[in-house]
């Protein structure tokens, strides 16, 4: 039997820990895995693009555990009442090839993105950062708000979205949350207004196009930019002039993938960037000066999903009861008799069950 986490299970796990604490603990797992960057067999994700979106597979292994994520990105889905992003993933044991965990990753991807963003900011933003602009108030925005408040200590959140209903939704969801006590939420009328006075600017928009959400005049010395929305070819959020600023420092997750999908797809192949793993391992600074403009060009990398799946599996194993399992792999008395014990006369019924 294989451990299984569906929407009900992830809701239960997150609520039992607390969203902010869950994000913080997941960030610690991600940071630990980036520190052992050299142990992983890495590749850019395999993507199938269409005019309306993308479907991707994201595999990675450290030689002991293997994981992959299936994920889509279809920005126009919301007009039909569907999610822009859906995902699921598998964690498997390399020694046997057996899957250990099948899990939803739609909610978990939002949680791990909300863990990765403030984790990068810990290394790149000024320590006195307390005000953040959040541009793009859709499905990822609450998670980002909670993560930055919990891990960075953001005290003022300045909101903007071209759809005022999205901002109203975000305000409604954040209002009255005990773990956001002390967070002031300010609605603004434009991206430029949201950026005024901000120490950190997070962009998390969804349109599949080369958008210009931020322009150089909106960026002031010492800012940290957390560019989350650009995550496939032909989809960006930052004006290229920001990346070319003399005082700009650009950090990416996995350079071969970011060259194809990140903000730096706009730049020449020799444009210099730093991988986040080098920052965590002390091989490069995340910020070298107070007035530097630091840019985390985040597209999401398979290592972060590996960390999330490993963390989820660890949480399940710590539970004494209630683990849900499915029969996705047959359990045979004789491993050479697949036919006889599955579709033949000697078949033994196997079913979804929850451990006692």
CB crowding 73-102: b at 16 or more within 10 Å, else e:
bbbebeeeeeebbbbbbbbbeeeeeebbbb
Within 8 A by CB and 6+ apart from 41, the residues are: 60, 61, 62, 63
Catalytic residue among 62, 161, 199, 231: 231
What phi and psi values does residue 201 have, to the nearest 5 degrees?
Answer: -125, 120
Rounded Cα gap, residues 301 and 253, in angstroms: 6
Q: How many CB atoms lie within 10 A of CB 59?
A: 18
In the residue annotation, 207 being an active-site residue is answered as no
Which residue shows structure tokens 């949680």?
111
Q: Find, among 257, 236, 237, 345, the residue nearest to 301 by Cα.
A: 257
Catalytic residues: 231
């Amino acid at each position: 039997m294989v451990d299984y986490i569906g929407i009900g299970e992830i809701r239960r796990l997150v609520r039992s820990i607390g969203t902010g604490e869950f994000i913080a603990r997941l960030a610690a797992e991600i940071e630990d895995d980036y520190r052992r960057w050299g142990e992983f067999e890495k590749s850019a994700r395999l993507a199938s693009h269409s005019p309306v979106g993308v479907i991707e597979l994201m595999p990675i292994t450290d030689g002991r555990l293997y994981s992959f994520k299936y994920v889509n990105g279809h920005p126009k889905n919301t007009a039909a009442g569907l999610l822009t992003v859906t995902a699921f993933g598998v964690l498997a044991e390399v020694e046997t090839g057996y899957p250990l965990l099948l899990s939803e990753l739609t909610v978990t991807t939002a949680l791990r993105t909300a863990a990765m963003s403030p984790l990068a900011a810990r290394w790149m933003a000024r320590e006195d950062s307390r005000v953040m602009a959040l541009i793009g108030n859709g499905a990822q925005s609450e998670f980002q708000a909670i993560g930055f408040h919990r891990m960075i200590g953001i005290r003022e959140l300045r909101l903007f979205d071209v759809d005022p209903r999205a901002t109203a939704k975000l305000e409604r969801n954040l209002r009255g949350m005990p773990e956001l006590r002390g967070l002031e939420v300010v609605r603004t009328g434009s991206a430029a207004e949201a950026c005024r006075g901000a120490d950190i600017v997070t962009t998390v928009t969804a349109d599949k196009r080369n958008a210009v959400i931020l322009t150089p005049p909106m960026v002031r010395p010492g800012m940290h930019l957390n560019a989350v929305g650009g995550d496939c070819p032909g989809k960006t959020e930052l004006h290229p002039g920001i990346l070319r600023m003399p005082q700009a420092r650009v950090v990416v997750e996995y350079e071969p993938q970011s060259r194809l999908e990140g903000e730096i797809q706009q730049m020449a192949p020799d444009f210099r960037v730093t991988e986040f793993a080098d920052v965590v391992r002390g091989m490069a600074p995340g910020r070298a000066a107070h007035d530097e403009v630091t840019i985390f060009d985040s597209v999401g990398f398979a290592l972060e999903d590996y960390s999330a799946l490993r963390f989820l599996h660890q949480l399940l194993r710590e539970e004494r009861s209630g683990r849900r399992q499915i029969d996705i792999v047959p359990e045979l008395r004789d491993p050479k008799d697949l036919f006889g014990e599955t579709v033949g006369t000697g078949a033994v019924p196997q079913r979804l069950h929850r451990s006692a």
